[in-house]
Structure 1
Amino acid sequence: MAVGVEFDSARFPAPERFARWREQLSSTYAPLEAWSEHAEDFWFRERHMLLGPVEVWPTTLQPVTLWRTPAMIRSSDPDGLHLSMLLHGTMEVDRDGWQTVHDTATFNTNDTSRAWRMRAYGDGGGPMRLVGVDFLKERLALPRRLVDRAIGAPMSARDGVGALLAAFLTRLADGSAGLRPEDGPRLGAVLTDLVSAVFAHTLEAEKALAPEAHRRALLLRAQGFILAELPDPGLDPAAVAAALHISVSHLHRLFTDHGETVAAWIRRRRLDRTARDLADPALAHVPVSTIARRWGLTQPVTFSRAFRAAFGTSPTEHRRTALSAARDAPSHLRSGGR
């Protein structure tokens, strides 16, 4: 499957849309039942991405109720795991006699081996928007007993490694135009590591992660902290290590194992964001030094030298060239094609 295959209700006659959508969901996850008050003219739009063994599907759709029964489980149980993140709307999930309500602050998880019922809807009963993720439980870097314990537990999408997973899924949902099919397996590996880390954090059992997955999860947490704190000129390896509750030497090993020092990774991200802002016509009136300071680059001489080393030109010349190219671009490109 290519990255970003579209599945849209507009492709089908109105009376067939709900059945087609249910068939697609059942083939992605497992057989299930569905109901919607909008079934006679159901509206949905999805993009299915196959990232190695992981399927990710951002979707916008009308309110729906889904359920999986013990009879369905006896008939077909692929031992699959589902995680969904709401971008807009609410989910009410009934499982094992308990009801859990999810909004954009939490992840919903369920599996193909247990019965559940879920009602999902947008504000005022309107459409909702979410990102679904499906893969086999065996892909997680955790013992099976811990995976089963974590499914259905409250999982934050706003704090710690949960925020990293949320950011990763949001980027996928926003667009996959720049991705190639060969990128899929690598992105799938990153995604399963992040989900493993969220599960482990939920169980307060990060030590249960396989060693390599644990190192990757720590590296992702470090990078997420750095990206959030880039504007702070005091950001350095010691501050990152303290935030992760690890030693500075441990932090350095995490980064050097991937071919770059902590300081170099921080510097490059600061320079990338400065270069991006210098090329933005909306910021053309802002002095170069002010933009550099916004990203923690407070020493003008050091900044200019590092910028030239990274991009082969001065900050001022980079801005002049980028803004000139923007002015010369056709109007439909400057306006994003609208």
Structure 2
Amino acid sequence: MWSVVSTDGIPAGDRFDWYSDIVASKVMPVMLSCERPAEFQGEAAVLDLGEIRASRFSLSPLHSRRTAPMIRRGDPQEYQLALLHKGTTSMSQYRNECTIGAGDLMFWDTSRPSDNQIAASCGPVQATILMLPRRILPLRTQRLDQVLARRIPGERGMAAILASFMTSLEDHGAECTPAELRRLSTVAVDLAAACLAQQLDVEDQLPIEVRTQALVQRIHAFIEHNLGDPELNPPAIAAHHHISVRALHQLFHGQEESVHTRIRRRRLEQCRADLADPALRGRPVGAIAARWGFSGPVVFSRSFREAYGVSPTEFRALSVNDFRTQRSAW
């Protein structure tokens, strides 16, 4: 469950001061300033994953400064890794500085002075942040110093996989059990380490278990991006990732499902979503099956019935009736 604090319900003239006090007392000492405090709006939420925490922020433009005396007064001793969803922000720390936009990631250290600016001309920002205890990342501090306050493009490589994970965590983390959140904590740390190691070109220095987890996540992402390819199968996946088919199956041995089962489940879930979409009612069932990589209508119909207890046509009819019922209720 996300723990949320928001300026909603606070008198407009008190919102900025109230938010500043919350950050200073609940997060860490920091100096905040705002050009238009009477217009300030902010919301922050935290999700406890066990060893680490995730947070999400929505903030009006402000300036945040953390000095050495503030660090001495209070320090969570964390690395923080942010994915920006909206807006633009700039940061300087440890001789580095950068400006990032939506889709980019940025990494910083709460134990070092920093300066962060959300310019008024750029509007509000929205971000997801992983809060990682300094001891938990399997990379030396001297190495990590090199990537502080550097823009990490989020559209390729391990950064793209990490960004996708962080977005899914924000969207679905509240649905997870405590045990599932603890497992997600391990995944988050491994993906963050792999992303940072890739930026530093030191992936070979990561522990084998971290590299293994990162490889599994790369394979998951590859499957998602290629579900519509009827040639997507274990040999093709293994070849793309330069491993043997046997090694691929060994990677998935400790997972909840095999490679083949994952491909089949995700294809069926995508087909189910399309069949339930009123905008796609005119698209033939066979075309939907082909869109998501099924080799033919017979195979698709049998697989769908096994998974959901009805045929694709029956499921579509039920979904259409549900939609009409909802519309009539409006």
TM-score w.r.t. length of structure 2? 0.90
**Residues 94 and 149 of structure 1, relative CA distance in 2, 3 Å threshold:** closer
Preserved CA contact (<8 Å) 2:91 2:149: no
Counterpart of 1:257 in structure 2 is 254
SS at match of 2:294: coil
1:267 aligns with 2:289: no
Counterpart of 2:60 in structure 1 is 62
Q: Percent identity?
A: 34
Could you tell me which of 65, 75, 78 is aligned with 2:76? Answer: 78
SS at match of 1:11: coil
SS at match of 1:10: coil
Could you tell me which of 112, 115, 118 is aligned with 1:114? Answer: 112
Counterpart of 2:22 in structure 1 is 24
Query: Distance in 1 between the 2:220 and 2:192 partners?
Result: 16
TM alignment of 1:150-169, pairs within 5 A: 150-169=147-166
Q: Residue by residue, what CA displacement relative to the aligned partner does 1:46-100 show, whole Å, maximum 9, x if unpaired?
A: 3332222333222222101111112222333332111111111111112234321
User: Displacement of 1:174 after TM fit?
Assistant: 4.2
Q: Residue by residue, what CA displacement relative to the aligned partner does 1:208-242 show, whole Å, maximum 9, x if unpaired?
A: 32332322221111001110111111222233223
Counterpart of 1:47 in structure 2 is 45
Could you tell me which of 110, 123, 127 is aligned with 1:126? Answer: 123
Query: Distance in 1 between the 2:172 and 2:249 partners?
Result: 33
TM alignment of 1:200-239, pairs within 5 A: 200-239=197-236
AA of the residue aligned to 2:79: L
Bigger CA drift: 44-53 or 144-153?
A: 144-153
Counterpart of 1:87 in structure 2 is 85
Aligned length: 330
TM alignment of 1:235-314, pairs within 5 A: 235-314=232-311
**Residues 180 and 72 of structure 1, relative CA distance in 2, 3 Å threshold:** same
SS at match of 2:118: strand
Query: Distance in 2 between the 1:160 and 1:27 partners?
Result: 37
Query: Distance in 1 between the 2:100 and 2:219 partners?
Result: 28
AA of the residue aligned to 1:107: L
Could you tell me which of 86, 93, 100 is aligned with 1:102? Answer: 100
Which runs of no fewer than 5 residues in structure 1 stay unpaired? Answer: none
**Residues 255 and 78 of structure 1, relative CA distance in 2, 3 Å threshold:** same
Query: Distance in 2 between the 1:58 and 1:238 partners?
Result: 39
Counterpart of 1:6 in structure 2 is 4
SS at match of 1:230: coil
AA of the residue aligned to 2:9: R
Query: Distance in 1 between the 2:11 and 2:47 partners?
Result: 24
User: Displacement of 1:119 after TM fit?
Assistant: 0.5
Query: Distance in 2 between the 1:239 and 1:329 partners?
Result: 43
**Residues 297 and 180 of structure 1, relative CA distance in 2, 3 Å threshold:** same
**Residues 22 and 134 of structure 1, relative CA distance in 2, 3 Å threshold:** farther
Which runs of no fewer than 5 residues in structure 2 stay unpaired? Answer: none
SS at match of 2:186: helix
User: Displacement of 1:144 after TM fit?
Assistant: 4.4
**Residues 98 and 162 of structure 1, relative CA distance in 2, 3 Å threshold:** closer
User: Displacement of 1:249 after TM fit?
Assistant: 2.1
Bigger CA drift: 247-256 or 216-225?
A: 247-256
Query: Distance in 1 between the 2:217 and 2:328 partners?
Result: 39
Query: Distance in 2 between the 1:175 and 1:9 partners?
Result: 24
AA of the residue aligned to 2:234: P
AA of the residue aligned to 1:49: L
Q: Residue by residue, what CA displacement relative to the aligned partner does 1:215-274 show, whole Å, maximum 9, x if unpaired?
A: 222111100111011111122223322333333222221112214321221111111111
TM-score w.r.t. length of structure 1? 0.88
**Residues 181 and 255 of structure 1, relative CA distance in 2, 3 Å threshold:** closer
Query: Distance in 2 between the 1:12 and 1:117 partners?
Result: 27
User: Displacement of 1:330 after TM fit?
Assistant: 6.4
Query: Distance in 2 between the 1:99 and 1:53 partners?
Result: 29
Preserved CA contact (<8 Å) 2:275 2:315: yes
**Residues 41 and 330 of structure 1, relative CA distance in 2, 3 Å threshold:** same
Query: Distance in 2 between the 1:16 and 1:107 partners?
Result: 31
